[in-house]
A and B are shown apart, each in its own frame.
Chain A
Amino acid sequence: MRSVAMVGAGMTSFGEHFDLGIKDLVPMAYAEAVSNVDKGIDKGDIQAAWFGEISTTDGFPSGILADTLDLTGIPVTRLENACATGNDAIRHGVMAVASGMYDVVLVVGADKVRETESSATFWEWAAMNRDNAWDYPLGLVAPANFALHVSRYLHESPATKEHMAMVAVKNHFHALNNPKAQLRYEITVEQALAAPMVVDPFGLYDCTPQSDGAAAVILVAEEVAHKFTDHPVWVRGVGLGLDRVMHQHKPDMTTFPPTVRAAEAAFAMAGMTPADIDVAEVHDCFTGVELINYEDLGFASRFEAYKLIEAGETYVGGSIPINPSGGLKAKGHPPGATGVAQCYELFNQLRGQSENQVDGARNALAHNIGGPTAASAITILSVDKG
């Protein structure tokens, strides 16, 4: 397998882009990714593309990417893997380059959540993730999907709602410096705890906003990386893990087995352990999920995630900074774009260019967990080719 380098990355701002369609957002993300390729890249260099998009608001997804970027002469594949779509799309780009089939590929992720009537959004998106006859009519809204896990987690671990609030406070704080973030304001633990309840145990500030946005990365083979940059970021590991779809089939709901499986695969491929990671972007769609992620990713022992957040260790400046971009919680979460945008943040971190720079960061990890908590994708990036 060949080593794979990330030579460019870009993203649109995340937010309610009522004025921008998916056909606007995709070219915007691509243009910014290209602008971050140090030595430039011509569109003709791109040999294949993957498009991570969960929903489609303007028709045929692969065609949208090909059409909007005038890339109809290359193969384009739409990839959907619930909220793990972004990092899984990158995984497919990596496999394509590592295998030797292509030297230069484009990976784009995008979604528009705020495109249809807000009273219809839940049922439209639930139809993509729930069994139609059994779970769909129950009204298992996205927060409830994760709250079933977090309720049990709070029941079994020493973690409390205060620890969840601390996660929200941290990620809002990180988002302050991120011009691409959707929620750029600080909150306090008291505000988070006093916020209106959405789904117990998640108050308003425990939840990601609904977002539109796109992100793009350019992956190349080691043999050609020097044509594009002298400072590539290496994709050292990728992993994908799945689990039973229905919650009733998950024996231990205090953990996400897909994350554990994806992490095992990605770390093995990278030849690293969790202790090697200097900074991570993890899937904090709901604050309690970030705590579980600390444990599933190996940053904390079982039921000890609360200690990390209590001690401030996951702030930039701490021992394992998590979500320096603001995370899904404050940066936003257009699902297909989320994982790709995590890699945009980590690309900048590893090149010393992030707004919330982690000093000396050399290894970084991006993580998605999604769908009915049944799919996780992880990407491990590094300054070192390995």
Chain B
Amino acid sequence: MPKVVSIGTYLPPWERRGRRVGGPDEDALTMAVAAGRVADPNSAARHVVMVSRNFPLLEGGNGAVLLAGLSLPDDVPVTEVLGGAPAVLDQIVTGTDGTLVIAVDDSDSQAGSAALLLGGGGAPVTEVGRVSRSLPLQTRRDDGSKRAYVDPRLQREMGVKASLKKLALQENTTVAAVAGLKANQLQSAVNVSAAVEDAAVSASGIIRVIAAAVESGILGVVLAVEQATITAAELGPGSVRICRDEAAATELPAFRTAPGAGIPISLASYARAFEPKLRWEAAVFDPRPGIDEAPLFPPRVRVDNAGNLASDYRLEPLPRTGTIYTQATVRIPVPDLPSPYTIAVIQLDDSPVRVLLKLTAAPVGETTIGQPGSVVLRRIASRTGIPDYGYMFWPSKQAVSVTKGVAA
């Protein structure tokens, strides 16, 4: 039976009116990579399941970017699941060794992600039951149109309580964690006295409450609730690595995107650059006259002094930290790009390689030459509707915190 060996969480470093929001260069995919990388730092996953209601592309595919961002081979299967907290818990309890379940929220009300890696030797999360019932109070159609049927009492009575009753948990069942609902709304049916809760309607919340329960040493039933659908699982004892990439939030600076004719894209060029660009790899050649062995980024074929075509390079990963060598902040509104923004030449640590990157996650104009930071996946631009992903530089990014939670 697979167990939870690692959990990683990510929150964007921005907030607006006290609520976390993604930056203009973030989307569900970049946030999925952020959480996935901290949950699976050694790229051990053998199956990736991304659960969200905010996929950047419904057609065209998110999987290749996800795998490249996670430094996973391109033959790892990716499953994209449209759903919220119950769907996330379903994927966890039905997952196998090596499954990386990533839950992502990128909506007006929620922005963040959490990932959970299954394997041997962690804490078990086993299926208890599930109820899928229809009470569509919040709806969103394929064209994005939304409808809210506002009746909280109806949701509680006809939705949650009725579903919970159908779930038929034993009286006094100890609930360890609840996502999607305030725990006290379950008070009469189950024992929620020690329960960890995340009442927000989200996908990632269920993984966050599992992490919190593990850290607090609370065992018991975990409930994932969304409208009238509930999945229940049992969190058992075990040790879980927990890593949070959750910088303190600051107010999202004002920016504007001036209207333009759209940023053109060549998909042929995109496809040629994709692997080294998304996998962050440089070309290294065997030295010969006219060709040195310094890593070359971006990779390209070369010709040596004798005129021999050299295309036999190997790809090597580049460091993901560096310092600002020089920078330029663009203050004028550039059509189709959120402005202002800063572009910088980054000297990568312990490498001769420099890269030209946009800065992210830092207020524009407050960065300095020599400032250290990290390289993170972002959506560089939307080019005639096609997201163009790549890396940006996060100045002074704090190291993520790692704890060892033991549910016992």
Q: Which residues of A come within 8 Å of B, CB atoms? A: 117, 119-120, 122-123, 127, 131-141, 143-144, 147-149, 151-152, 155, 196-200, 246-249, 253
Contact assessment for A133 and B269 in the assembled complex, using a CB-CB cutoff below 8 Å: yes
Count of chain B residues near A, Cβ 8 A: 45
The stretch from B82-90, B103-111, B283-291, B330-338 touching chain A is B330-338
B255 part of interface (Cβ distance < 8 Å): no
B326 touches A149 (CB 8 A): yes
Question: Does B261 lie within 8 Å of A123, measured CB to CB?
Answer: yes
Looking at the complex, which of B11-19, B45-53, B353-361 is the stretch in contact with chain A? B353-361
A148 touches B259 (CB 8 A): no
Contact call B263/A253, Cβ cutoff below 8 A: no
A127-B369 contact given A134-B298, A137-B388, A139-B330, CB 8 Å threshold: no
Cα–Cα distance between A262 and B357 once the two chains are bound (Å):
29
Q: How far is the CA of A184 from the CA of B269 in the complex (A)?
A: 44
B261, B266, B270, B329: the one within 8 Å of A200 (CB) = B329
Chain A residues whose C-beta falls within 8 Å of the C-beta of B356 in the assembled complex: 134-135, 138, 140, 148, 246-248
Cβ-closest 5 pairs across A and B = A133-B273, A147-B328, A152-B326, A137-B381, A200-B329
Q: How far is the CB of B300 from chain A (nearest CB, A)?
A: 10
Known contacts A127-B264, A138-B343; A248/B381 CB under 8 A: no
A144 to B259, CA, bound (A): 20
Once the chains bind, are A200 and B328 in contact (CB under 8 Å)?
Answer: yes
- With a CB–CB cut-off of 8 A, which chain A residues contact B381? 137-139
Answer whether residue B277 sits at the interface, using C-beta atoms and an 8 A cutoff.
Answer: yes
- Least CB distance from B88 to A in Å reads 32
Nearest A residue to B388 via CB reads A137
**Across the interface, which residues of A come within 8 angstroms of B335, CB to CB?**
119-120, 122-123
Number of A-B residue pairs with CB-CB distance less than 8 Å in the complex they form: 113
Distance, CA A196 to CA B332, complexed state (A): 9
Q: Is B313 an interface residue (CB 8 A)?
A: no
Is B272 located at the chain interface by the 8 A CB criterion? Answer: yes
Q: Are B269 and A148 in contact (CB under 8 A)?
A: no
B328: contacting residue among A120, A122, A131, A151, CB under 8 A: A151
* Residues A151 and B369 in contact, CB atoms below 8 Å apart: yes
Nearest-neighbour CB distance to chain B for A135, whole angstroms, equals 6
Whether B263 contacts A200 by the Cβ 8 Å rule is: no
CA distance A141 to B342 in the complex (A): 11
Residues of A within 8 A of B265 (CB): 132, 137
**Cβ < 8 Å to A, chain B residues 353-390:** 353-358, 365, 369, 380-381, 383, 388, 390
Chain A min CB distance to B6 (Å): 33
- The reply to whether A198 and B331 contact each other, CB–CB distance below 8 Å, is yes
Q: A148-B345, A198-B332 are in contact. Are A134 and B273 (CB under 8 A)?
A: yes
B152 at interface, CB cutoff 8 A: no
Q: How far is the CA of A149 from the CA of B344 in the complex (A)?
A: 11
Q: What is the CB-to-nearest-CB distance from B193 to chain A, in angstroms, rounded to a whole number? A: 53
Residue on B nearest A249 in the bound complex, by CB: B354
B280 on interface, CB distance cutoff 8 Å: no
Q: Find out whether the CB atom of B383 lies under 8 angstroms from the CB atom of A137.
A: yes
Q: Which of A137, A139, A248 is in CB contact (< 8 Å) with B345? A: A248
> Knowing A122-B335, A140-B356, A248-B355 touch, does A199 contact B328 (C-beta < 8 A)?
yes
Are B270 and A123 interface neighbours, CB within 8 A?
A: no
Taking the closest CB of chain B, its distance from the CB of A47, in whole angstroms, is 36
Q: How many Å lie between the Cα of A173 and that of B385 in the bound state?
A: 47
A residues within 8 A CB of B264?
123, 127
Checking A120, A132, A143, A247 against B269 with a beta-carbon cut-off of 8 angstroms, the contacting residue is A132
Residues A199 and B260 in contact in the complex (CB < 8 Å), given A134-B273, A134-B298, A247-B345: no
Q: How far is the CB of B345 from chain A (nearest CB, A)?
A: 6
Q: Is the CB of B327 within 8 A of A151?
A: yes
Cα–Cα distance between A140 and B336 once the two chains are bound (Å): 13
Are A141's CB and B326's CB within 8 A? no
CB neighbours of A123 from chain B (8 A): 260-261, 263-264, 335-336
Instruction: Check B328 against A139 for contact (C-beta < 8 Å).
Output: no
The answer on a CB contact under 8 Å between A199 and B331 is yes
| Extra contacts besides A120-B260, A123-B264 (16): CB < 8 Å | A119-B258, A119-B259, A133-B272, A134-B277, A139-B341, A144-B343, A147-B328, A148-B326, A148-B327, A151-B369, A199-B330, A199-B331, A200-B329, A246-B356, A247-B345, A253-B326
Asked if A148 contacts B328 (CB within 8 A), the reply is yes
Q: In the complex, which residues of chain B have a beta carbon less than 8 angstroms from the beta carbon of A196?
A: 331
Distance in angstroms between the alpha carbons of A140 and B259 in the assembled complex: 17
Closest residue of B by beta carbon distance from A196: B331
* A132 vs B334: C-alpha distance when bound (angstroms): 17
Given contacts A119-B260, A139-B341, A248-B354, contact A133 B331 (CB under 8 A): no
Q: Quick check: B263 and A119 within 8 Å, CB to CB?
A: no
Residues of B within 8 A of A137 (CB): 263, 265, 380-381, 383, 388, 390
Docked CA distance A120–B331 (Å): 18
Q: For B269, what are the chain A residues with a Cβ–Cβ distance below 8 Å?
A: 132-133
Q: Which residue of B lies closest to A133 (CB)?
A: B273
Chain A residues with Cβ below 8 Å from B325 are 152, 253
Chain B residue contacts of A148, Cβ below 8 A: 326-328, 343-345, 356
Cβ–Cβ contact B369 & A197, under 8 A: no
Question: Which residues does chain A contribute within 8 Å of B380, judged by CB atoms?
Answer: 137-138
